[in-house]
Amino acid sequence: MERSKYRGNGRMDRIASTARRIIDYCSAWVARPCSTGPAVGIPKIGDGRTGADGKEQIYHPRTVTTFPTPQRVSRRPEWLAKIEQIDAHLSQILHQTYIALEADAFILASVGLRTAFDRTTEILKLDPGHTLEQKVALLKDKGYIGETEAAILSVVTDAGNAAAHRGWSPGAAEFRVLLIALEQFIERTVIQGTTALGIAQHIPPRHPRPKRAFSGAK
């Protein structure tokens, strides 16, 4: 009878010991430092270690796996690399505008469109003291753009002003329309215009026309 009672107490002691180990394990798991990574591996039960207070501590090695932000497909024009050779300032503005676009920061990207347009007009020798509306009108008067493109570029500048001063943000589709309009303007006036001027330097001059021979006196 005493032997049976002893066995029962031993079993209860083992159960209590196991329960304490489980509680210690769970406490260590809940109190573990948080990981900054998006994906955390399952911890493994490890060996005991002695802490600074001399008491045994449970060590749980774990594997942390992090994944980088998925890279977005960037749709930048092929001629963008040529801008660096023509005007480094405009190149910097455009690169930062595309970075804002890829981050869905449409307010910043819209301001970038306005700034890129402003810089392009300086490359085309327009007085920087004019307002954006005046610059659009001057581009039309000088023959750089037509009636339709002038109206479109006015929308681009108005959108940039609204983003800069009123915090307006276009949608992705709306911004794409504005971006394409500005890209076409820059490509035609800066890229193609500069290329055409370079070709003009290699065109040989006209041959002088021979003087007409007039008949003499009767």
CATH classification at residue 99: 1.20.120
Long-range CB contact pairs, 177-183, < 8 A, 24+: 178/110, 178/113, 179/101, 179/109, 179/113, 181/149, 181/152, 181/153, 181/155, 181/156, 182/113, 182/116, 182/117, 182/153, 182/156, 183/77
* pTM (global) more than 0.75: no
Q: What average pLDDT does the segment 191-213 reach?
A: 62
And the tokens for 29?
Answer: 């798991």
Mean pLDDT of the chain: 78
124 is a domain residue: yes
pLDDT at 121 (0 to 100): 96
Look at residue 62 in the predicted model and tell me its pLDDT. 75
| pLDDT score, position 31 | 52
| The pLDDT value given to residue 6 | 46
Residue 49: pLDDT band with limits 50, 70, 90: low
- What is the reported pLDDT for 35? 47
Give me the number of domains the chain comprises: 1
Query: pLDDT higher for 27 or 79?
Result: 79
152 belongs to a structural domain:
yes
Is the pLDDT higher at 201 or at 180?
180
| Residue 61 belongs to some domain of the structure | no
DSSP state of 192: I
Residue environment code for 37-59, b if the CB has 16+ CB neighbours within 10 A, otherwise e: eeeeeeeeeeeeeeeeeeeeeee
Range of the domain at 122: 80-196
In a domain, 98, yes or no: yes
| Domain-located, residue 143 | yes
Q: pLDDT > 90: what percent of the chain?
A: 50
Of the spans 61-65, 131-135, 208-212, which averages the highest pLDDT?
Answer: 131-135
